[in-house]
Structure 1
C-alpha cells in the first residue's frame, strides 16, 4: 500500500511573502512589492513560523528584519519550491515548446558586456513569453547567490569554482598582456613577463581574476610591481592606455580603444604559451534544473558566444 502524502500546513503564498521580505529587508518594502498591506505580510510570516515551529526572522522597528540561521537555510529551499511550482504551472498550461516564467542568469563582470547580449537576445527571441533577468557580479558572489537560490545559472571563469557546482564549458581563452600602444615592446609578437618585472602592474582586482593573475606571475617566476588596483575592467584599460602600467587580461575585446580613445595592444605571454582559461555556465548540483534553465544551457552550447 502506497504511503499517503501529507499536505503541508503552509501555502506557496506564505513562502512567496517570506522570500520577498528576505529580499527587500523590510515588511514595508515587501508589502509594496507584493501590492498588499504590511499587516497581511506580517500575519503570513506569523502563520508560516507557527506551522514550521521555528523562528525565521527577527523583526526590529526601524531596522528591518534579520534572518535567523533557520531562516537562511529555509530561504534557499523556499526559492526552489517556488521555482518548481512556477515550472509546474507553465509546463501544464504552456503550449508546445514555449517557455514562460522567469530565468535569472548571473555573469562575471568582464564577461557580461560581450557574452550576455547575444545570449539574451537570441534566447528571448525564441521564447518571448519568458522573462530573462541578469545580474553582474564577482565570481565568489555569483556562486554564493547560486547556492542561495537567487540565480538559476551563472557564466564564470573556471577559477576557484566550488565543488558544489555543475558546469558546461562554453569556450576557452588564453590570458594575454595589455600594453599602451607606444610601449617599447608594442611591436613584438609576444612579450615576456620578465621583461616587465620592473614596470608597474595595473591589477584587475575582482575575485577570482586577481588571484589568478598573481598565480600566472608565480608560474612564470616573476614578482610583479602592483601599482594600481581596480575592480573596473575599463578603468584598468584606461590606465594602461595612458601609460600608467600594463595589465593581464583573459577577456579579448574587438575594440582596441579605451573610453578616452587611447589605444592599447594585446600581446601573447612568452612564458605561458599553453595556458588557457575556460568560460563556464554553472548551476548548483543539488538543485534540480527547471526546464527554462536546461533549455538555456542547451541554447548556449549550440550558440557558442564569443568573448
Structure 2
C-alpha cells in the first residue's frame, strides 16, 4: 500500500527537528503550532513510527527513527524545491519561495523596499527574510537555510560567490554640536582623541578600527553596541562619533535628535554592497532574476537611499 504523506508534513517534521520545539518551528515556517502538531501526528501515523520524545526541560528530541528519517526528509524537500525550480525554468516563469538574508546594519534601509519592488513584478514569488551579522550569513548560506544574502565584501570565504553592486565609502556619524561637526571631511587623526561609539559587529568592527591601526593610532572606544539604531541615538546624544558605510534616509536619530554624516579622508577602503550565494548553489531562473533586479534597484536608489553621492 503506498505511503500517503505530504511535503507540508515533511516540512513541519524538519522544522521541529531543526529547532527542537513546536513553538520555534511555528515561527520558522509561519504556521500555527496546532497545525504543526497535527501534521507530525499524521506523519507518525502514516509512517508507523514515533518521531519525537518530549522532555520538559529540553523540548522535543528526535527518536532514533526520527533522526534517521530527518536526513531523508531534508533531502526530499531539497529535491522537491529543485523540481519546482526546474519547472519554473522550463516554463519560463519566475515563481516559488526565496529566502533572503541581509546584514543587520542596513536591512531596515534596503531590504523591505527591494522585496516590495520585486514581488510587484513577480507575484508568484514568496520571499522570506532574516537579518544577521556577516558570520551568521556565511553559516546560513552554507546550511542552505537562505538562498542569497545582501552584505558587504568583507572577509569573504572561498566557498561563497559575491556579486558586487555598489561601493560605499565610510562616513563619520557625529552629533550637531560635536567640535568636528562643521568640517566638510574628517581624518582619523582628528577623530582619535574623541570618544567613539563602535558598531561592534563581527568583522565590521575590525574594519572600522583598521582605519586607526593603519595610521598608527588607537580609537578611543567609549561605547559599544550591535544595534545600528542604538548607535545613532548614542551619537546624536553626544556620547561619541561612529563610523558607518550606509547613510540613513534622514539625518535624524531614532529619538528625533539631529546628527551629521561627514566623509572620512585618507582614501579608506570602501565596503562594496552586493549579493552572496554558495558556490555549489545552482543559479535558477528565480535567483538570476533577483540578482539582476537587486542590482538595478540598488543602483537606482543609491544616491538617495544609501547616500553614495555628495
Into which bin does the TM-score normalised by the smaller protein fall? 0.7 to 0.9
Question: Whole-Å Cα distance in 1 between the matches of residues 251 and 175 of structure 2?
Answer: 10
- The structure-2 alpha-carbon separation of the partners of 1:231 and 1:76, relative to structure 1 and needing over 3 Å to count, comes to farther
Structure 2 CA distance for partners of 1:286 and 1:41, relative to 1, 3 Å: same
Tell me if structure 2 keeps the 8 A contact 1:180–1:265.
Answer: yes
1:229: how far off? 0.7
Structure 1 pair 89/122, CA: closer, same or farther in 2 (3 Å)?
same
> In the alignment, which of 106, 111, 117 is matched to residue 106 of structure 2?
111
From the superposition, tell whether residues 236 and 67 of structure 1 become closer, same or farther in structure 2 (CA, over 3 Å): farther
What is the CA distance between 1:175 and its match in structure 2?
0.7
Deviation at 1:107, TM superposition (A): 0.4
Query: Aligned match of 1:36 in 32, 35, 38?
Result: 38
Aligned to 2:298: 304
Contact 1:84/1:290, CA 8 A, preserved across alignment:
no
Q: Is the 8 A contact 2:86 2:284 kept in 1?
A: no
User: For 1:85 and 1:301, how far apart are their aligned partners in 2?
Assistant: 29
2:142 pairs with 1:147: yes
Instruction: Give, in angstroms, the shift of residue 37 of structure 1.
Output: 4.8
**Residue 173 (structure 1) aligns with:** 168
Q: Distance in 1 between matches of 2:85 and 2:278?
A: 22
Cα displacement string for residues 3-32 of structure 1 (whole angstroms, at most 9, x for unaligned residues): xxxxxxx99677535422224423686773
Aligned to 2:239: 244
Judging changes above 3 Å, is the alpha-carbon distance between structure 1 residues 24 and 251 closer, same or farther for their aligned structure 2 residues?
A: same
Superposed counterparts of 1:77-116, under 5 Å: 79=74, 82-89=77-84, 91-92=86-87, 97-116=92-111
The structure 2 residue matched to 1:285, chosen from 279, 287, 290, is 279
SS at match of 1:166: strand
Q: Secondary structure at the match of 2:146?
A: coil
**C-alpha displacement at 1:190, in angstroms?**
1.3
8 Å CA contact 1:198–1:225 kept in 2: the answer is yes
CA shift at 1:226, angstroms? 1.0
Change (3 A) 1:26 1:179: closer
Match of 1:192 among 187, 190, 209: 187
For residue 229 of structure 1, the aligned residue among 208, 212, 224 is 224
User: Match for residue 253 of structure 1?
Assistant: 248
Shift in Å at residue 181 of structure 1? 1.0
Match of 1:6 in 2: none
CA contact (8 A) 2:85 2:284 kept: no
The correspondence for 2:125, drawn from 105, 130, 133, is 130
1:77 and 1:152 mapped to 2: Cα distance? 20
Tell me, yes or no, if the aligned pair for 2:13 and 2:40 is still in contact at 8 Å: no
Structure 2 match to 1:21:
16
Alpha-carbon distance in structure 2 between the residues aligned to 1:204 and 1:136: 16
Contact 1:27 1:42 in 2 (8 A): no
The separation in 2 between residues aligned to 1:115 and 1:74, in whole angstroms, is: 39
Distance 1:284 1:72 in 2: 26
Output the CA distance in 1 between the equivalents of 2:75 and 2:296: 27
State the alpha-carbon separation in 2 of the partners of residues 74 and 112 from structure 1: 36
Where in structure 1 are there 5+ consecutive unaligned residues? 1-9, 50-56
Unaligned residue ranges in structure 2 (runs of 5+): 27-32
Residue aligned with 1:215, SS:
helix
How big is the shift at 1:208?
A: 2.5
The verdict on how the C-alpha distance between 1:204 and 1:262 changes in structure 2, with shifts beyond 3 A counting, is: same
